[in-house]
Structures are given as structure tokens and as C-alpha cells.
Structure 1
Amino acid sequence: MGLLLATVACERPVPPVTNEVGQDAFNLTTYLHEQRQKLETEQPMVLKSVAAQGREPEVVETPDIDWEDELAIFEQADLSRPALQEFYTRREQVLEDGAVAVEFTKLEDASTLVHYLRLIMAPDGRLKQLNARLQDENIIFFSNRVIELSTDSRTGDISSYQVEGVQKMIFGDTLRYEVKANL
């Protein structure tokens, strides 16, 4: 990563998210819907590997991807809804290349799915990268997933993504899995 040039804000409760010109913050759900429509139309070749329980990954190259299902986990990381803002601290950093890293960290007493979200936004406002940790837990189920999505620097379109996760049911074995895809 580039060096930190300036810190726009330090850890503080998150106000309604707006950028410096007063527009709404980056809406991940809208971005993913637009990407899904584009990917369904273009049907790019995707190199995808799936591994579970430490086994060798199963690798396939195919244009046949259910994009709604494939991108759903990333939609869960969208924190642009105002009702979610009170549960996070927000920190922004301007990076060496002019991009802005926006980090959301769950407040300790908040019961939210997204525990951490980091968006790197290009100077023109396009998404460059997303990193998040999603954790869900109740009396019968535990899930912890680390997700990452990267975009093409020229177009802002999705270029790769990965999900690493652990799931455990109270009466079942622990399942560890990893999914990686390159477009």
C-alpha cells in the first residue's frame, strides 16, 4: 500500500456518510447490481478455484456464473444505509496515489454482521478495492468470512474476488473453505 499522506479523520462515531462535496457515499449495493447486469450481458471467462477443508482446490474456467449468487456476499458488506452508521467508527486516509481508504470498524457493543470494512476509492470516486470481515453467530451457528474484491484500475469493473470462511453448526463439524475468482 502507498504511504499515508494525510489523515482526514480519526476514529470517531460515524456521521451520515457523505463525501466532501455533499454527495451520498459509495453505495456498494448499487455498484454490485450494475456490475451484475454488465457481467450477465458480457459473460466473461472466469477462472475460479474452490477449496474446502484443506483439500486441493478444484479449478474451473467458465463463463457460466450465477452472478447474483456470486456477488451476494459482497452486498452484505454495504454500510451506506444510514441506519447502520451509528454502529461503526469511520476513518479516512488519503493514500500516496491520491486514492482514499475508508475504514469502518464495528463498535464493541454493536451486534452487526460486518465487523470491518475497508474501501479504497480512486480519486475519481470509483471503487478500487474492498476488504471486509463478516461474522455471524447465534446459539446454533457460527460463520466468519473474510472477503476481498478488486477492480480494474482503468474501468472500475470487478477484476477478481475471494472469500475465505469458516462455518460451524452446533452439532456439526467445522467447515473451512476458500473461493477465488479472476475475470
Structure 2
Amino acid sequence: MFNVPSLRFWYQKSTLVLLSAFVLGGSACQDKGTMAPVVKSTHQAYDLVGFLDREAQALNTKKAMVRKAVAEDGTVKETKTITSLNWTEELAPFADADINKPALKGLFTVDSSSDALGQQVRRYTAKEDARTNVQEVTYTLDAKGQLVQLDATILQDNMLFGTKKVLHLEAHSGTAPHLVRYHLDETQKLLLMGAERYSVTGEVAQ
């Protein structure tokens, strides 16, 4: 029976093959402190880490349930409703899209616009020579500055392997918790091997 793990557990499991590549001597340019709490912030973008922390606390307090689907290479392996979840761990992978780390200051161009609903859309794109795995992050904010959607693309590439992570998160403007839906899609390609794709989707019970 395929057991639906937490998003962070799946995320760590899917990157084990990458860790083995490091053992063989591979290296990659990585953003410092990607999985660690942010001590200082440049405030060049929306406070994603703060949002994730607040949501995790609210979801844990509410004991929110989630309907999760795990897929491999486009095939859904299992869909299951989970009634007990550590939301701090579940949402941790989305902190990889944080671009407020001091080392990333000034590495992105910013494009601001409004969508059909009058919401602010802020797209941060890594400059061509930027040394960062985060390639693009788009925040959609309501009239009060509340995050209602996050989209991000993270790339890692070297001689032995390449990965592409696509993150998506949706939230509502009402009372906390705001999280409605989240999705993480990761494609891995090892040298001399075919690409593998994994994805996790969560629908939060309201």
C-alpha cells in the first residue's frame, strides 16, 4: 500500500539521488540557508517565510485536514485525506522560494502589474548572471496586501544531475488560516539516466 507522506518527507526522499551525486564529487551553486530559518531579511519581496510560519501555526491550531495526491511520472499513486499533519514540516519546502535572503539582494528584476480582479501581481525574475537556484517567483496580492497566490520555479544543474522544481500555492483573503491549495512538482535528470517526475498536491479542508 502506497503511504502518502508529508510534503517535506517526500521532498527529502526525492532528493536522495541528488545527495548520492554529491558523494561522488558533484557540486552545485546553491543559495545559502535555503532550508534554514531566515535571520535577516532584505525585504526586497513579500515576506514568504513569515506567511508560511503564520499559516503553519494557524493550521496546526485548527488541526486542519488535507486531501493529498502523490504522483510519479504523471501517474497518481494515491489520494488520501490526512487528519493529522505537522504543517510546519509540510510547508517547509516552499521556503526555498524565499528571495529575501541577504545573498540574493539585487539579483532579480521586478515586474509589477494588476490582474483582471485588480490584484497586484509582482514577478521577480533572476538576472542572467545571477548565482541563484531561484529562477522566478510571482506573488499575487489582494487589495490589503495579503498573499493569494505564489508561483515559483527553482533550477539546480551541474555535470551529474539537474532538477526543476515548480511550486504553486493558493490562499484566500478571509480569516486565518488562509491556505487553500498547494502543489510541488519536481523533475530530476541524472547523467546517463532518464528524467523522473514527482508531484504532491494538497487541498486544505475548509
Alignment TM class, shorter chain as reference: 0.7 to 0.9
Which segments of structure 1 move beyond 6 Å, counting only runs of 4 or more?
Answer: none
3-state SS of the aligned residue for 2:106? Answer: helix
Partner residue of 1:65? 85
Partner residue of 1:180? 201
Higher helix share goes to which structure? 2
3-state SS of the aligned residue for 1:89? Answer: strand
Structure-to-structure mapping, 1:111-126, within 5 angstroms: 111-126=131-146
State the alpha-carbon separation in 1 of the partners of residues 59 and 192 from structure 2: 39
* C-alpha contact 2:69 2:76 (8 A) present in aligned 1: no
State the alpha-carbon separation in 2 of the partners of residues 128 and 61 from structure 1: 23
Q: Work out whether 1:104 is the aligned partner of 2:124.
A: yes
- The number of residue pairs the alignment matches comes to 162
Measured after TM superposition, the shift of residue 38 of structure 1 is: 1.5
Partner residue of 2:189? 168
Measured after TM superposition, the shift of residue 166 of structure 1 is: 0.3
State the alpha-carbon separation in 2 of the partners of residues 17 and 177 from structure 1: 32
Residue type at the aligned position of 1:106: A
Higher strand share goes to which structure? 1
Measured after TM superposition, the shift of residue 40 of structure 1 is: 1.7
3-state SS of the aligned residue for 2:105? Answer: helix
Q: 1:74 aligns with which of 91, 94, 111?
A: 94
Partner residue of 2:47? 27
State the alpha-carbon separation in 1 of the partners of residues 138 and 46 from structure 2: 12
Partner residue of 1:138? 158
Which residues of structure 1 form unaligned runs of 5+?
Answer: 1-15, 19-24
Length-normalised TM-score, structure 1? 0.80
3-state SS of the aligned residue for 2:55? Answer: helix
Residue type at the aligned position of 1:31: F
Partner residue of 2:57? 37
Q: Work out whether 1:85 is the aligned partner of 2:87.
A: no
Residue type at the aligned position of 2:152: A
